[in-house]
Each structure stands twice: as C-alpha cells, then as structure tokens.
C-alpha cells in the first residue's frame, strides 16, 4: 500500500491510526464472531474459547504477528466485520490453492507405500471439510504424521503451515519421481526393511543411494 500513487491511497497509508477506534472495532468484531460461534444462543463462552476465537480472528486478519501500530492500521476501519468476512473469502481461496498443490503432490509421488505418508495425504485431502475458517483458522486443519527431510517451522499457523509443508513434500516427491519405482523399492528394502510402517522420510533414505537408482522409465525401456 505504501507504493500507491493515488492521493487517497497514499493518505490512508501515511495516516496515524486511531488506537481507540481500532480497539473498539476489534471488540465489535469479536462480539460478532462470538454471536456466530454461539449460533444466536447464549453469548457466554469460556476463557479458552475466547482466546481461541481471538487467535482465529487475528490469523484471518493477518495481525497475529504484527506490531500494535500495524494492528491498529488494519483495524482502524469503518466496518471491521466486513473486513473480516472479506479476509475469510481470501482464506477460502487459499484453501482451494492448497488442494491443488495436494493433488499435484499425490499425482507426482510414485506408488511407494508408507503408512505415515498415506495417512497424511488422506488427511490433507479432507482439508476443505476440516478447515474451520470462521472459528479456528489458526489451527492446522489436518493430521500430519509423515516426517519431511526439512522440517516446517513450528511457529507457522493454519494454511501457512500447510502450504510450506506441501511445497517441501512436492520438492521431495519430484526428486523421487525421477527414478524407477522398482529400483527405489529395492534400495528402500535394503536400507530400511520396514520403510512402509516406520515414520521415516523416503527422500532421506534414497538420497545417499542416488547412484543405485535407475532413471524413471528405465524398466519399460529394457522390456521394449
């Protein structure tokens, strides 16, 4: 927004936020979210529920890690409820993009059986159903058991975590897909006989033995 040339945009980006107005806006937004959460019933919620709802709202608005002044700039608006609903729609769009990344990872991964990977991919495939974007947007909406070669930053929340996790998985699966599946299985059976059941990373097991892996399609070429 700083780079906006228009007078209105520049004036808005440079104005000093009204902290009091921003605080009132956040309180008004939280009252709206709590009302939705309680489905019009009693607005009495526990301290834990209030904390989780506030964390979800902060994630949706992108203010979970901002400074007080940055937070005030975002919340100092005429209609914070409308701002939140717009951000919800943006997150729903990101969910669709995450599913596209998941489908690519599933299509790329050779048929090498590993229970943790299978279960994790199955859980990720249900992200659209499991992601509570209204009340738990900050939570990772899936069960991730498969260990990546490069661990994801545990401080990441919600879709941020899932996006980084899938990007790393896709990088690993693309590397594995370069090689013939049968040769990969042969190496895995030799270096880790229970690679199917253990919580191991297939890329880490195969990388040191790259020279023993046949290029993808090598077996079919030999047959022809």
DSSP string, 149-218: SSPPPTT--HHHHHHHHHHHHHHHHHHHTTB-HHHHHHHHHHH-TTTTTS---HHHHHGGGGGGPPBTTH
Q: Do residues 41 and 116 share a domain?
A: no
Q: Do residues 197 and 143 share a domain?
A: yes
> Regarding predicted confidence, which is higher, 11 or 48?
48
Give the whole-number percent of the chain exceeding pLDDT 90. Answer: 85
Q: Do residues 111 and 217 share a domain?
A: yes
What is the rounded CA–CA span in Å between residue 162 and residue 22?
A: 30
pLDDT band, very low/low/confident/very high, at 39 (cuts 50, 70, 90): confident
Q: Do residues 109 and 40 share a domain?
A: no
In a domain, 97, yes or no: yes
In a domain, 18, yes or no: yes
In a domain, 163, yes or no: yes
In a domain, 2, yes or no: no
Q: What is the DSSP letter of 218?
A: H
In a domain, 1, yes or no: no
State yes or no: pLDDT of 132 exceeds 90.
yes
Residue 179: strand pairing partners: 215
| Host domain of residue 109 | 88-223
Q: How many domains does the chain have?
A: 2
What is the rounded CA–CA span in Å between residue 87 and residue 77?
A: 14
Reduce the DSSP state of residue 76 to 3 states and report it: coil
Measured from the Cβ of residue 219, the count of other Cβ atoms closer than 10 Å reads 13
Measured from the Cβ of residue 222, the count of other Cβ atoms closer than 10 Å reads 9
Q: Do residues 164 and 217 share a domain?
A: yes
pTM of the full structure: 0.86
**What value does the mean pLDDT take over residues 144-165?**
96
Cβ contact 84:29 at 8 Å: yes
Domain boundary among 52, 78, 104: 78
The confidence score (pLDDT) of residue 218 equals 66
Q: Do residues 73 and 181 share a domain?
A: no
Reduce the DSSP state of residue 204 to 3 states and report it: helix
**CA-closest candidate to residue 213, choices 174, 184, 171, 176:** 184
Q: Do residues 14 and 67 share a domain?
A: yes
In a domain, 61, yes or no: yes
Q: Do residues 62 and 112 share a domain?
A: no
Q: Do residues 26 and 107 share a domain?
A: no
Q: Do residues 41 and 143 share a domain?
A: no
Domain boundary among 78, 110, 139: 78
Q: Do residues 201 and 106 share a domain?
A: yes
């Amino acid at each position: 927004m700083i780079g906006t040339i228009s007078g209105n945009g520049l004036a808005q980006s440079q104005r000093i936020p009204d902290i009091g107005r921003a605080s009132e806006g956040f309180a008004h937004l939280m009252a709206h979210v709590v009302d939705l959460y309680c489905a019009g019933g009693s607005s009495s919620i526990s301290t834990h529920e209030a904390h989780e709802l506030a964390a979800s709202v902060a994630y949706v608005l992108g203010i979970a890690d901002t400074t007080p002044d940055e937070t005030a700039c975002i919340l100092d608006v005429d209609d914070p409820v409308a701002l939140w609903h717009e951000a919800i729609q943006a997150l729903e769009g990101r969910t669709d993009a995450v599913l596209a990344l998941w489908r690519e990872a599933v299509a790329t991964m050779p048929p090498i059986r590993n229970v943790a990977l299978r279960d994790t991919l199955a859980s990720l495939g249900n992200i659209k159903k499991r992601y509570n974007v209204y009340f738990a947007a900050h939570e990772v909406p899936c069960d991730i058991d498969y260990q990546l070669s490069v661990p994801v930053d545990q401080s990441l929340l919600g879709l941020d975590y899932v996006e980084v996790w899938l990007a790393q998985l896709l990088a690993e699966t693309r590397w594995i897909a370069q090689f013939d599946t049968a040769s990969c299985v042969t190496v895995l059976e030799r270096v880790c006989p229970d690679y199917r059941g253990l919580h191991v990373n297939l890329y880490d097991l195969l990388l040191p033995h790259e020279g023993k892996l046949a290029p993808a399609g090598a077996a079919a070429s030999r047959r022809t």
